Amino acid sequence: MSIAPLAASLEITPSYYLVLAAALFSIGAVGVLVRRNVLVMFMSVELMLNAVNLTFVAFAKALNDTAGQVLVFFTLVVAAAEVAVGLAIIVAIFRRRRGATADDLTVLKG
Amino acid sequence: MTVFLFFLMGGLTLLGALGVVLARNPVHSALFLVMTLLSVAVLFLLQDAELVAAVQVIVYAGAIVVLFIFVIMLLGVDRSEALTETLRFQRPIAVALGALVLVEILLLAGHSWATGAETTSGVPITGGGDFGTNIQRVARVLFTEFLWPFQLTAVLLVIAVVGSVVLAKRSGQPVGDEIDAAPGPQGESVP
C-alpha cells in the first residue's frame, strides 16, 4: 500500500480547515449540552472559541489578509475575560452550595 | 509534509476535543484541552500565523488551562459526576442536536463559505510589498485599523478583573473560612 502518491496529489485547501473547525465546534456544543460539571462545560466553550479562531485564521490565509489574524486576538481577550469571570462565579457558587454541577443550580426554576 | 501534518494535527485536535467531552475526571478534561490547544497552535503555524500560534500556546495553554486546573484543585471537584438523568433523554437529544449543527454548517454554510470577499486591511499575509514579518504585519493592522476595538478590549479586561475580584470576595466576611454549613439565603449584597 502506498499512500505517498495520494498524499503528494492531495492539496490542503481552506475547506479542510473549515470542516475541521466545524467538527470542533460541534464537539464543543455537544459538550456544553451533555456534561453536568460546570468546569467541563466551560472547557467545551473554549473548544468552540478555538474552532472560531481556526476559522478566522483559515479565512485570513484564504483571502490573504492579516485582519483575520488580528480578530483572533479579540476572541482571545473575550475568552480570557469569560474564563476569569466564569471561574469566579463557579467558586462563589461552590462556597454556597458545596457542588459545581449544573443540576445544583435550580434556584431560578419557575 | 503539509498534508501529513494537517491530518496528524487535525486528528489530534478532534481526539483531544472528544477527550474533553468524554473524560470522567475534570483534570483529564483539562489535559485533553491542552492537547487540543497545542494541536490547533500547530495548525495556525501551518497557515502562516506565527504570532497567533505563539499567543495560543502562551495564553491558552499557559494561562487559561492553568486557571482551570487551579480552580479544580481549589474546589476539589475532581470526582466523577452522577449519571442520573434529571431530564429524560437529555444526552441522546444533545448528541443529535450536535450532529444537526455539524450538518447545518457543512451543508448550508459550506455552499458559500469561500465567498471571495474583498480584503479589508490592505495588508496581505505574504508578499504584497514591504510589510515585514508576520508580527509586524499583525501589529500594523492591529494598531491602525483595529485601534479602537483594541482600546475597548482593555476596558473589557479591566471590567473582568474587577468583576472576578468582587465575585470571589465574600462580602462582609474574611476570605479564610470558606466552608460553613449554612447554605440558606444570606442575602449577599454586591453593590
Q: Between these two residues, A9 and B29, which has the higher pLDDT value?
A: B29
One digit per residue, pLDDT tens: chain B, 191 residues? 888 999 999 999 999 999 999 988 889 999 999 999 999 999 999 998 999 999 999 998 888 999 999 888 888 765 656 666 667 788 888 899 999 999 988 887 777 665 656 666 778 887 777 788 888 899 988 999 899 999 999 999 999 999 998 887 766 555 555 444 444 444 444 44
Average confidence (pLDDT) over A17-37: 91
Q: Which three cell numbers stand for residue B153?
A: 478590549
Give me the torsion for CA of A35, A36, A42, A46, rounded to 10°. Answer: 0
Task: Give the contacts of B155 (CB within 8 A, at least 6 positions apart).
Answer: none
What pTM does this model have?
Answer: 0.83
- Separation of CA B94 from chain center: 21
According to DSSP, residue B117 is labeled P
- What is the model's pLDDT at position B118? 66
Interface confidence, given as ipTM, is 0.87
Give the 3-state secondary structure of residue B160.
helix
Chain A residues in contact with B98 by the CB 8 A cut-off are 26-27, 29-30, 33
- What is the model's pLDDT at position A48? 94
- What is the model's pLDDT at position A95? 79
According to DSSP, residue B111 is labeled G
| A89 contacts chain B (CB < 8 A) | yes
| A105 contacts chain B (CB < 8 A) | no
According to DSSP, residue A20 is labeled H
Neighbours of B106 (CB within 10 A): 16
| A43 contacts chain B (CB < 8 A) | yes
Most confident listed range (A54-58, A59-63, B80-84, B112-116): A54-58
Lowest-confidence segment of A47-56, A87-96, B166-175 by average pLDDT: B166-175
Task: Give the contacts of B111 (CB within 8 A, at least 6 positions apart).
Answer: none
* Angstrom distance (rounded) from CA B155 to CA B150: 9
**Distance in Å, alpha carbon of B191 to nearest chain A alpha carbon:** 16
Give the 3-state secondary structure of residue B130.
coil
- What is the model's pLDDT at position B117? 62
Nearest to A40 by CA among B19, B91, B190, B57: B19
Is the pLDDT at A23 greater than 90, yes or no? yes
Question: Would you call B125 and A66 a contact, using CB atoms and an 8 Å cutoff?
Answer: yes
Mutate which of A69, A85, A106 to test chain B, going by most B C-beta atoms within 10 A?
A: A69
